[in-house]
Structure 1
């Protein structure tokens, strides 16, 4: 009976270890976002000894006992990777787009127990302001455009309602989105470019003029009339000059 109990105890211990290892291996990867040109700290402390690993490169920084570290193990991170002996955090300076990837912090505590935490870092550009240009004054059609990038969307809104939206996996193009607007409600439209770390918007320019005379009143009608009068004056002047040239 005693032998059976021992065997069950050993089996239970073995199963517990396997479950624990499986749980550790399946620990959730933490998603972190960074902005090009800024700094980012991985929020997992290494106070005694440990390391930081990156993708296929493996160990890119090492912390030794008695608060010593070596963060220049890999050339591409040289002078950009630091370890703080107070917080225990690894910090990556001057983030670049290609710094995106999987980082793992390995930590060994005072009891020699080893733990790991994995981070999926995604680095983004701060978006530039989208540009809205008049494509066709007659139909009052405008086009909004912005340089594409990682997870960028370009959208037209009228008030709080989204009218249409576009995006593309091709990061080397310019996103463009046309829209026919109602001139009388021009101020209610806005074009918005967004990614997970920034958002920029632009309004419809004032030069968009509605072609239907029944929809044009006040200042816009006055502007059209003045434009037509000037055009007629130029036409008359041109005809007069042509007649003088013929006489001479």
Structure 2
């Protein structure tokens, strides 16, 4: 269930979109195309207002990839709340892109099959077991709580009296990102620093996603 980072998935069409929004002459278009051949060349350009505004104003016409779309929106949302770390942005955007595929809303590696990811307590019991599967499940739990509280906060807050609320989900997310960060596998997968940032800044990231979802995204509410 590994999350594939967004910046590794940008497409030729994404590059063409950037060039079309930022270039005014054929010469500037060629210069931008050369710049975008270098992965680092994307970074400053994606923070520019015309790119963000175009995704807001004409999302159906932009024809960009989901990783590109979520990276640009997530980057802006995190910057608004003082979180300027591109690796953090990349990971969070990748979580959104992955979970918004419906099959990602279910976890195939526990309880013998494709069960709806609803009963956190049962899944948390599996996460306490040793081994790589436990590591994957712990950061899956953390990713899921970030996605749910970030994109569907109303769903969490509107649950029946006595059900776990926002504080519970935040605590679960923080705890499992911290636990996953301490696993040697996190260092081997180069995720330790991102997981620590998410453990410490879970609420800020969650609020940033709330603001992004309210401004930019419109989805039906999933069952929790």
TM-score scaled by length of structure 2: 0.20
Whichever of the two has the greater Rg, that structure is 1
Greater share of strand: 1
Q: Which has the higher contact order (CA 8 A, sep 6+)?
A: 2
TM-score scaled by length of structure 1: 0.19
